[in-house]
Chain A
Amino acid sequence: MRSLLITGTLLVMISAAGCIQAGESSLKTSTMTDDTGAVVEVPVKVERIVSLAPSETEVVCVLGQGDRLVGRTDYCNFPAEVRDIPSVGGPKTLSIEAIVGLRPDLVLATTITDTTIVEGLRAVGVPVLVFRLESLDDVYANIACVGDILGCSDTAELVVSGMRLREESVRANTCHASPVRVMYVLWDDPLIVAGNNTLQNDLITAAGGINIAADAEGYVIISDETVVSGQPDVIIVSETHAAGTVPIKERLLEKPTLSDIPAVKTGRIYTIDGDLANRPGPRMIETLEMFASCMHA
């Protein structure tokens, strides 16, 4: 089970004989095991959160708890109001000092977060929860778990059930269509695509498609040969906003090796904003609907 387990009962930890004046939080903790198997003491009252992943920033905000966020990353750009929150750096430039300086009760991260930062924070006593987000179910569990911690499990339940409803409707609308062969491209040279155990593989399957790279694990480099023998009907490309570069879609269309595959011949290459398509947050459900409309256009 990927979701977080609240393993312990509430452990009441009274600091040794009250020699420290009781701060407003952090006296009581509950023991949780995160998706990486780490045992984390999470304060019962979490007032100050630092998010190290755009998806976690979105989760906190969708639960209406954005005012508890005291830190984010350079890449957290949604919802727009989080831009006013101080950033602790980009993926390669996260600063432990900056994070600790914000005195967080809890840090939220994902398996993509630099593990040396996660370990470094834990070593100085900052609780860090790491989520592994590889499917819609993982995203639902993530939202429910953060809802539990922030004391708003009702809202979380509402959000998740709304997402599930939209997922069901996509599944119902696509399950009778003939299966579409899909390739999800993150980069063209080398060709990097989403294989098995990725969020996008889950979305392709949910929207009634077959991922031509499902035999490979995770995000992988594949050869053009795999594409030609896989014969994708639809190619979905995620584009990040690197300025001044030729869009990936155009570079794919230029490849002589791919000129004969169905997706290229019929022009069914679709570009989705990478911030939306590669971010396992609450807006994943929008991505699923986009996938479905690309695949069954």
Chain B
Amino acid sequence: MRHGGVFAALLLILACVGTSSVCIGESSIDCGTVLAIIRNAVLGGEPFWSPAEETIVLLIRVPRVLLAGLVGAGLAASGAALQSLFRNPMADPFILGISNGSALGAAAVLLSGVSFGLGLFDLPLAAFVCGTLTVLLVYELARVGSRVSTHTLLLSGIAVSAFMSACTSFLLFTSSEDLHQVIFWMMGGLAGRTWAHVYMVLPFISAGVFIFVAFARPLNALMFGEESAHYLGVQADQLKKVLLVVSSVVTGAAVAVSGIIGFVGLIIPHIARLLVGPDHRVLLPLSVCAGAIFLIAADTVARTVIAPAELPIGVITALCGAPFFIYLLRWRGSEA
């Protein structure tokens, strides 16, 4: 593959960023100890550290880093696929209203006190279900017979999003309950996430990412327009349906555990495209890596920069990502 070098470099960076993120934290545990704790967990051995240090590394930092990687990868891959599907650079994983739908579900569950008896998982489940239902609604609204035009899809996405967002605002405003959980959930973040959350999204996101990569060739064909794709043997309508379902599930899973983290799904695919061009066979795996790296790094900053307090991760993704993207757009883009 022509871009093997870039790919290898990104994997290496991902490994480095992941490892150093586990080593960095509010409590100072030196890198040697951290690595020993992890090695010990896998291979067994005699601990020379305190149980508290082991809890911090194995139960707090490692799952959080993994989750950041998964969410970043999922959002970036969805973004890349949807940008191509809609042939629209403004497309991101939330374009069909999944974020506002999930937020409404989360707010409804939190404010009504309804419980499905799943404890920790009530909120993610409600967010996931409402998010995917919203996309389904958008799709049905845009469907005429068996055909769905991408323009109608985008527009009904915008309309349904606005409607859902108004419902959420109404709920928030009329509620007398504590609102901080809803508000922080909408700001997005990975504070307090555990292994349970990792297990919850791992199957959805990894399967989704795999499917995206498998559809790289048809996506390439689709870039020439639906008609040309048809002549190239691609069933555009089928492809559209599959990609919409997969991206809804992947994004819904990501949103369920991390709230609404903006920017990753929009900017990372563009950065990847600027680096390696539009071939989806390279672009998709690259977006996955870059998304994971970016979100792991952003979350590390979020939990350390004003420690012991936590910063909302969305602040960092936009604050660091936007200037970097502008730099690429202005200087690297003009060279290429």
Contact = CB atoms under 8 A, between A and B. Distances in A.
Interface string A218-252: 00111111101101000000001011111000010
Interface string B60-81: 1100000000000000000000
A193 B176 CA distance: 21
A8 to B, nearest CB: 40
A74 B181 CA distance: 21
Interface string A53-95: 0000000000000000000001000000000000000101100
A119 interface: no
Contact of A256 (B27, B52, B59): B59
Given A222-B308, A229-B26, A260-B52, A246 B119 contact: yes
Interface residues of B, number: 35
B115 A244 contact: yes
A245 B113 contact: yes
A190 interface: yes
A74 B176 contact: yes
Contacts of A226: 26-27, 307-308
B176 to A, nearest CB: 6
B303 interface: yes
Nearest to B29: A229
The residue in B60, B114, B180, B184 that gathers the most chain A C-beta atoms within 10 A of its C-beta is B60
A255 B119 CA distance: 11
B195 A256 contact: yes
B52 A92 contact: no
B270 to A, nearest CB: 30
Given A223-B191, A224-B192, A255-B194, A187 B310 contact: no
A168 interface: no
Main secondary structure, interface of A, reads loop
B331 interface: no
B279 interface: no
A264 to B, nearest CB: 11
B173 interface: yes
Interface in B283-312: 303, 306-310
Given A187-B180, A220-B309, A231-B52, A225 B113 contact: no
B196 to A, nearest CB: 8
The residue in B112, B180, B189, B192 that gathers the most chain A C-beta atoms within 10 A of its C-beta is B192
A216 B306 CA distance: 8
B140 interface: no
A191 to B, nearest CB: 6
Contacts of B309: 195, 216-217, 220-222
B275 interface: no
B115 A246 contact: yes
B181 A223 contact: no
Contacts of B51: 260
Contacts of B56: 225, 228-229
Given A189-B181, A223-B303, 13 more contacts: A90-B176, A190-B189, A191-B192, A217-B309, A221-B184, A221-B310, A226-B307, A228-B55, A243-B113, A251-B119, A251-B120, A255-B194, A257-B59
26 contacts: A74-B176, A187-B181, A190-B180, A190-B184, A221-B310, A223-B191, A223-B307, A224-B60, A225-B25, A225-B27, A225-B56, A226-B26, A226-B27, A242-B178, A243-B113, A244-B114, A244-B115, A246-B115, A251-B119, A255-B194, A256-B196, A257-B55, A257-B59, A257-B194, A260-B55, A261-B52
Interface of A: 74, 90, 92-93, 187-192, 195, 213, 215-217, 220-226, 228-229, 231, 240, 242-246, 251, 254-257, 260-261
Please give me the 3 A-B residue pairs with the lowest Cβ-Cβ distance, nearest first.
A244-B113, A229-B27, A220-B309
